[in-house]
Amino acid sequence: MSDHASSVPAAATLTERERRLLFWASFLALAAAGTGFAFRVALGETYGAELGLTKQQVGEVFGASLWPIAITMILFSLVVDRTGYKLPMIGAFVLQAASGIGTWMASGHLGLYFAALAAGLGHGIVEAVINPVCAAVYPREKTKRLTILHAAWPAGLVLGTLLVIGGDSFGGGLSWRTHALWILVPAVPYVIMFLPCRFPVDERVAAGVPFREMLRQVGFLTAFLASGLMFYEIGNQVYTLTELNKPDEAGNLPFYVEHWFSISAVLGAVFGIVFGGAVKSLGQPLFFLLCVLMIPVATAELGTDGWIKGLMEPVLAGRDINPAMALVFSASIMLILRVFAGSILRFFNPPALLCVSGLLSAAGLYWLSTATGIAIFIAFVLYALGQTYYWPCVLGFTSERYPQGGALTLNTVSAIGLLSAGIVGGPLLGVAFDRSIHDTVKAEAPALATAATSTGGFMWMTHEKIDPKKAGPFVASLPEAERAEVEQVYHDAAPKGAAQVKARRDVLAYATRFPLLLFVAFGAIALWFRSRGGYKQIHLETSP
């Protein structure tokens, strides 16, 4: 055991009051991250318009609050057992507070970008700390406690959105700069609560499991997957913020940009081989499978939310309700269900609950692809029942079965989900959206399809799509009567045309395959455990 580990208490020595204080301070820390996220969802277009940002710049600011999370989680998992948990949490507070104050002071794209970057870095540190702390404090009910802990994310979404809506109801409404400071509402209390806390040593360290053994749980397989995704995302950020992705005079992208996914896979394989060779381990196959399954989990939970909200917002607006309440509605369902996870987990172990979740969310998604009016609410609730337990259950599953991996396995599986949501899930659903639009336009406005079709690419795949840059001038050149007819099919300025409306439905139907995959995969895992005597949590005994 390290010198640091010998100077901090084991979880068993903490009083019940100390456990509760740690847990609820952790809850508020994650809620603070959710509050900051809700601000960017609700007011991104507002501050973008006021500061003269392009849509791409608004997207870059939003992305800067997300992509650092996964990278920070993995990197801090390697050092947090040596630094202790308190110092990183104070650092997370400083970053989150800086994100709110920095946004309040921002005068342009760069200021907003670095403020959002601080939010992402702070969020990553929070996740890197609170997940292993929760597992260490409640070693006999990890999945239950991790699920309740992660109710903090939807709680932050609800808090942040309601503060924005409530602030706008006073007089002329508060400015977006004032709204940016709402992150301090949960952030200040959590750092005050953490200051007197005694943080326990990680379960792995308390049991005397060597650092090298933690790395061996990951091995070549997961190191290859995680590093490949990290290389890809870091490269994408560099290309976005620099001129390295500038096409040549013929309109062709540089080779390294066009083939960056393949290059990242090769770099990941090289790193994985070096890592696996250094620790002499292929890695735990089932843990690697869990990491792979986080790709459809992230797509089903995070990737589809934007499309679902697109369906719900017109329904809410038609009932004279602020469209931002769509986020409150979805987050509230998740919040309530996660808080009462203990009752559900009495009947299901993690793989069985994940299997059932896949079936429920698949049914909800498919229904949403055809539902209208009030049925959208009912179908959404069914979808929410399924997607609520994905993320915390995978964390609980990992912590219960691979405690030797400590903070690294727990945070790596979550980080892969966060990375894959942006790298795989979002773009894949975007491809489905483009294909649907192209098929509708080709069938109902063939002249437009002929004039505006271009080839899109994702990973190794290509597809046909309608290029808005070609479609706009073509539609504008048509006679007025013909233009109106074509715009009923396709409208490049907003999702007004029949093709865009149909595509939103088609994306939800397409997305159904991801929770169905989870239903099959986790069902097979649950049956595998049953064939071996049932699912059992692995407990590490504290070393003397």
Q: How is residue 238 written in tokens?
A: 């560099």
Q: Is residue 272 part of a domain?
A: yes
Residue type at position 243 = E
Q: Is residue 358 part of a domain?
A: no
Q: Are 44 and 174 members of one domain?
A: yes
Q: Is residue 411 part of a domain?
A: no
Which one of 281, 296, 322 terminates a domain?
281
Cα atoms in the 13 Å half-sphere on the side-chain side of 44 = 20
Pick the closest to residue 130 from 26, 243, 242, 272 (CA basis).
26
Q: Are 84 and 191 members of one domain?
A: yes
Question: Tokens 């233009």 identify what position?
Answer: 483
Quote the pLDDT of residue 227.
94
| Residues 119-141: tens digit of each pLDDT | 999 999 999 999 999 988 998 88
Residue 523 has pLDDT above 80, yes or no: yes
Q: Are 174 and 240 members of one domain?
A: no
Determine how many CB atoms are found less than 10 A away from the CB of residue 248: 8
CA 134 to chain CA centroid, Å, is: 20
Pick the closest to residue 415 from 304, 296, 293, 291 (CA basis).
291
Average of pLDDT values for 297-308? 75
Q: Are 234 and 199 members of one domain?
A: no
* Position 412 confidence tier, pLDDT thresholds 50, 70, 90: very high
* Position 1 confidence tier, pLDDT thresholds 50, 70, 90: very low
Q: Are 132 and 86 members of one domain?
A: yes
Average of pLDDT values for 35-48? 87
Q: Are 93 and 14 members of one domain?
A: yes
Which one of 208, 227, 253 terminates a domain?
208
* Position 518 confidence tier, pLDDT thresholds 50, 70, 90: very high
Q: Are 147 and 231 members of one domain?
A: no
Residue 2 has pLDDT above 50, yes or no: no
Q: Which of 24-33, 103-112, 267-276 has the lowest mean pLDDT?
A: 103-112
Quote the pLDDT of residue 354.
94
Q: Is residue 478 part of a domain?
A: yes
- Within 138-172, where are the H helices? 142-149, 152-168
| Alpha carbon distance 366, 386 (integer Å) | 13
| Residues 274-301: tens digit of each pLDDT | 999 999 999 999 999 999 999 999 888 7
* Kind and range of the H or E run holding 431: helix 426-444
Which range marks the domain in which residue 268 is found?
A: 219-281
* Position 263 confidence tier, pLDDT thresholds 50, 70, 90: very high
Quote the pLDDT of residue 509.
87
| Alpha carbon distance 402, 135 (integer Å) | 12
Q: Is residue 270 part of a domain?
A: yes
Average of pLDDT values for 428-456? 78
Q: Are 259 and 136 members of one domain?
A: no
Question: How many domains would you assign to the chain?
Answer: 3
CATH number assigned to the domain comprising residue 168 = 1.20.1250.20
Residue 238 has pLDDT above 90, yes or no: no
Question: Tokens 């690294």 identify what position?
Answer: 408
Pick the closest to residue 219 from 83, 402, 394 (CA basis).
402
Average of pLDDT values for 387-400? 91
Q: Is residue 370 part of a domain?
A: no
Q: Are 17 and 142 members of one domain?
A: yes
Q: Are 138 and 271 members of one domain?
A: no
Which one of 281, 300, 331 terminates a domain?
281
- Average per-residue pLDDT for the chain: 85
Percent of the chain with pLDDT over 90: 38
Q: Are 237 and 179 members of one domain?
A: no
| Residues 484-496: tens digit of each pLDDT | 777 777 765 555 6
Quote the pLDDT of residue 438.
81
| Residues 44-83: tens digit of each pLDDT | 888 888 888 877 688 788 878 888 888 899 888 888 888 8
Q: Is residue 537 part of a domain?
A: no
Q: Is residue 341 part of a domain?
A: no
* Position 310 confidence tier, pLDDT thresholds 50, 70, 90: low
Pick the closest to residue 132 from 66, 91, 79 (CA basis).
79
Pick the closest to residue 462 from 258, 182, 285 (CA basis).
258
| Residues 175-203: tens digit of each pLDDT | 899 999 999 999 999 999 999 988 888 88
Q: Are 41 and 145 members of one domain?
A: yes
Residue type at position 178 = T
Average of pLDDT values for 370-397? 86
